[in-house]
Chains A and B, each alone.
Chain A
Amino acid sequence: QVQLVQSGAEVRKPGASVKISCKASGDILTGYYLHWVRQAPGQGLEWMGRINPNSGGTNYAQNFQGRVTMTRDTSISTAYMELRRLRSDDTAVYYCARTYSSGGSDVWGQGTTVTVSS
């Protein structure tokens, strides 16, 4: 079954970091990119960045430059997204998504809720 399984919900204090994992079921990322998208409560989708699972190359949205790092471990078919210096407005559901090179995301993780609160 083609699926992406994300790590569980996280609670952090402002200024802390969070690292979310996204495990692919087998070799389903070959030929694709892995995008990260977030959605704040009651808000729309926001693109954060992408990683090439093969090369490890990344592209980040300007809004997250310097605060986000996307990595992968090909040996366990898992990608990671770390967001640092968390603020309350980083409270959101974070999704990973398998994505064509042209941008269509056809397989999504179940989402990981990150709550940032003092």
Chain B
Amino acid sequence: QSALTQPASVSGSPGQSITISCTGTSSDVGGYNYVSWYQQHPGKAPKLMIFDVSKRPSGVSNRFSGSKSGNTASLTISGLQAEDEADYYCSSYTSSITWVFGGGTKLTVL
């Protein structure tokens, strides 16, 4: 199972919005509404930000939103803040009854 494709890096200024893409195939992202997004700060465990494509866990800011079109899922962060600077990973269920992660995207807040 190949890793999902994410941009290596994205950047934005405080207050702006950014979108991170996550591209897979019809056997994973495109075939199921089981895409999750994680935020990871250096030296810390990942934190769940979005699950089931667009659902937010309790306690996660509504500045974070998720969507999907075809084989590509997206995470949008609006009103960018300094503390949003982190690595972001997408994950998807696959037809093999396994999960696969994206390669990760480093978000820099300028």
Contacts and interface: CB of A to CB of B under 8 A. Distances in A.
- The bracket for how many chain A residues form the interface is 20 to 34
B64 interface: no
Contacts of A16: none
Interface residue SS majority, chain A: strand
8 contacts: A44-B103, A45-B38, A45-B89, A47-B101, A61-B98, A95-B45, A106-B48, A108-B46
- The bracket for how many chain B residues form the interface is 20 to 34
A100 B3 contact: no
Nearest to A63: B1
A90 B99 CA distance: 19
Contacts of A35: 99
A103 interface: yes
B36 A103 contact: yes
Interface residue SS majority, chain B: strand
A105 B90 CA distance: 12
Nearest to B98: A61
A8 interface: no
Interface in A73-118: 95, 97, 100, 102-106, 108-111
Contact of B99 (A44, A103, A109): A103
A106 B50 CA distance: 10
Given A35-B99, A103-B93, A108 B45 contact: yes
Given A62-B98, A109-B45, A102 B93 contact: yes
A35 B93 CA distance: 12
A97 B57 CA distance: 15
